[in-house]
Amino acid sequence: MLSTGFDKREGKIWMDGQLVNWQDSKVHILNHGLHYATSVFEGIRVYNGVPFKLKEHIDRLMHSAVTLGFVLKYSVEDLINATHAVIETNRISNGYIRPIAWLGSESMIIDGAGCAVHFAVAGWQSFEDARSAMREVGARLIVSKWRKPSMDAALHSTKASAIYSMSYMVKNEAKKLGYDDGLMLDGESNITEASTSNFFAIYGEVLRTPVPGCFLNGITRQTIIDIAKQKGIDVEEVDFKVEDLRTADAAFLTGTAIEVMPVQCVSGMRFDINHSMIKLLSEEYRIRASSR
Ligand code: PMP
């Protein structure tokens, strides 16, 4: 069932330097970004009116844009100001911000030469949290049949829309099988990440997470590693495989949207979703995210 579309909402969206009415923020069907995924985006959570890790997200947006060869029309500061304007004008206390940059309609040739680079920042109140139900029972994961492209596919450190067709496939593969998400392996069968989140496993007192190579080194992942180290937890960034999960006590996913999400099972292996380390890390994360 389709819910009321995002295009039908009310409010303002910052588009190429101006706040425009929500329903007027339109692009043409012959748009380079739409056809060839020449676009990059971010996802930011707002807690108590404050966007968490805003500078880090905008820096990553710029890194993604530069990786695609986009000419930057705005500075980091401009986009930070645009984000604050969107939060203020839409009165967002707890919500979600979606900045995006894309190539326009000036050319449909693949090199995009002559295409304008557009920037927009949208944001909305009450980030729908279908995830709170999942948090109670933990995410049920499969191992996806889709493998990560190798390290030399330069887009892994970006949020380029182009790589999200894979996340889309992985998520839908899992859903069709009755699961919540899929873990992707690399070419050597090492665990990488889930469709839109990073992966951690707990072994006794040790927190283990894959070495970022052919997957996004998430801002939440980095925050969790930082919190864990501050709490004196041993953090191992190593390559490991699905069979190594047999001896894990617990596992969880991290991401801006899902925060810290306990994992109930991976391919039938079950884990402790109430593990004390998960509780400690998720509580500390919430405290950091919500403090002004
Ligand atoms: N991997 C992918 C593919 C993602 O889309 C996300 C969400 N941005 C993450 C990991 C987690 O990143 P972050 O913690 O920065 O949200």
The predicted-structure confidence for 232-254, as pLDDT tens digits, reads as follows 999 999 999 999 999 999 999 99
pLDDT band at 133 (very low <50, low <70, confident <90, very high): confident
In the predicted model, is pLDDT for residue 291 greater than 90?
Answer: no
pLDDT band at 1 (very low <50, low <70, confident <90, very high): very low
**pLDDT average, residue stretch 7-35:** 97
Taking alpha carbons only, the member of 207, 13, 22, 213 closest to residue 120 is: 13
Best probe residue, ligand 1, of 96, 216, 281 (max atoms within 8 Å of C-beta):
216
For position 202, what pLDDT does the model report? 98
Residue nearest to ligand 1 atom 5, measured at CA: 196
Q: CA 175 to CA 163: how far, in whole Å?
A: 19
Q: Are 262 and 201 in contact (CB under 8 A)?
A: no
**pLDDT average, residue stretch 26-52:** 97
In the predicted model, is pLDDT for residue 119 greater than 50?
Answer: yes
Query: Residues lining ligand 1, CB < 6 A?
Result: 43, 167, 193, 196-198, 216, 218-221, 254-256
pLDDT (tens digit, 9 = 90+) per residue, 267-276?
999 999 999 9
Q: Which atom of ligand 1 is nearest to the CA of 163?
A: 3
Q: How far apart are the first and last CA of the chain?
A: 38
**pLDDT average, residue stretch 40-62:** 97
Of all residues in the chain, the percent with pLDDT exceeding 90 is 93
pLDDT band at 126 (very low <50, low <70, confident <90, very high): confident
In the predicted model, is pLDDT for residue 162 greater than 60?
Answer: yes
* Residue tagged 């979606």 (tokens): 98
Q: CA 118 to CA 101: how far, in whole Å?
A: 5
Q: Which pTM was predicted? A: 0.97
For position 101, what pLDDT does the model report? 98
Q: Which atom of ligand 1 is nearest to the CA of 220?
A: 14
From its phi and psi, is residue 230 left (phi > 0), alpha (psi between -120 and 50) or beta?
A: alpha
The rounded Å distance from CA 215 to ligand 1 centre is: 9
**pLDDT average, residue stretch 57-80:** 97
Of all residues in the chain, the percent with pLDDT exceeding 70 is 97
The rounded Å distance from CA 145 to ligand 1 centre is: 20
Encoded tokens for 227: 């919190």
For position 127, what pLDDT does the model report? 67
pLDDT band at 3 (very low <50, low <70, confident <90, very high): low
Best probe residue, ligand 1, of 161, 222, 256 (max atoms within 8 Å of C-beta):
256
For position 199, what pLDDT does the model report? 98
In the predicted model, is pLDDT for residue 4 greater than 90?
Answer: no
Residue nearest to ligand 1 atom 4, measured at CA: 196
Catalytic status, residue 159 = yes
Pick the catalytic residue: 12, 53, 148, 159?
Answer: 159
- What b/e string do you get for 24-60 counting C-beta neighbours within 10 Å, with b at 16 or more? ebeeeeebbbbebbbbbbbbbbbbeebbbbbeebbbb
For position 66, what pLDDT does the model report? 97
